Amino acid sequence: MENDLINLAYTFYPKGVYGLDEDYNKTKEIFKLRNHCKSVIESKYEIWIEILRKIESRFKGSMNVFDTTNFFISKPSFSCELIYSTDDKKVILEIFRSFLIPYFYISENTYYENSLINHTINSFTNFPTFISESVKLIAHESTLIPSELLCKVVPNVSFDTIGFGDFVLQHAFFNKEKL
């Protein structure tokens, strides 16, 4: 699976061209990435918004739902935040569903007694029912990617200010934020 994802990344990101090189954005790979992202946004963004509205309506009062999708190739994914509280903590789940592969991932930020705990989720079955049901709707024919794959380097690829050796599968398929 790891090698398949790395090889797929090479179809959207040029090998051996530094991300800030003046010719980078003229490569066939970046052209393909731009067109693919544009196509997905044009054909599926309204469906994404409807899913989020459905979740917000169904679980009103249990959590807040925010669309955080960014229309740049540096974030080739639909994204949202689900925010909820319990008696002793506030939880922000950031969910990223790729435009390029049938996978998603979840980053959890938990604020508990004046501290922040952040980690990537490998399972969403231990969450409250309204969260598990929401994640299933958001996943929409996608699978939760194993978190260890997010940090796998895509050899000989750079993007924007991310240098060779630092560009990972998370950057290629979800966003350029640091885990």
For 94, residues 6+ apart whose C-beta sits below 8 A from its C-beta are 68, 79, 80, 81, 106, 107, 108, 109
pLDDT top residue among 89 and 49: 49
The two beta strands, 143-144 and 115-120, are unpaired
CA angle 2-19-30, nearest 5°? 70
What pLDDT does residue 112 have? 85
Q: What percent of the chain has pLDDT over 90?
A: 75
On whether residue 178 sits in a domain, the answer given is no
Q: Are 158 and 17 in contact (CB under 8 A)?
A: yes
On whether residue 148 sits in a domain, the answer given is yes
**Residue matched to tokens 């990537």:** 120
What pLDDT does residue 140 have? 84
Mean pLDDT of the region 12-38:
95
- Please determine, for residue 122, whether its predicted confidence score (pLDDT) is greater than 90: no
Paired residues of 97 in beta bridges: 78, 104
Would you state the structure tokens that stand for residue 173, as one six-digit string? 């398929």
Q: Are 177 and 168 in contact (CB under 8 A)?
A: no
Mean pLDDT of the region 63-70:
94
On whether residue 6 sits in a domain, the answer given is yes
CA distance 47 to 99: 13
On whether residue 129 sits in a domain, the answer given is yes
Of 77, 73, 53, nearest to 65 (Cα)?
Answer: 53
**Residue matched to tokens 């380097």:** 153
What pLDDT does residue 40 have? 94
On whether residue 23 sits in a domain, the answer given is yes
Of 164, 143, 99, 133, nearest to 1 (Cα)?
Answer: 143
CA distance 69 to 8: 22
pLDDT top residue among 112 and 35: 35
CA distance 102 to 117: 28
What pLDDT does residue 178 have? 60
On whether residue 179 sits in a domain, the answer given is no
On whether residue 45 sits in a domain, the answer given is yes
Determine the angle formed by the axes of helices 28-58 and 129-139, rounding to 10 degrees. Answer: 140
What pLDDT does residue 61 have? 87
On whether residue 20 sits in a domain, the answer given is yes
The per-residue pLDDT for range 123-179, each reduced to its tens digit, is 877 788 889 999 999 998 899 999 999 999 999 999 999 999 999 999 999 987 765
pLDDT top residue among 113 and 1: 1
Domain range spanning residue 92?
Answer: 2-173
**Based on the structure, what is the number of domains in the chain?**
1
What pLDDT does residue 66 have? 95
What pLDDT does residue 124 have? 75
- Please determine, for residue 51, whether its predicted confidence score (pLDDT) is greater than 80: yes
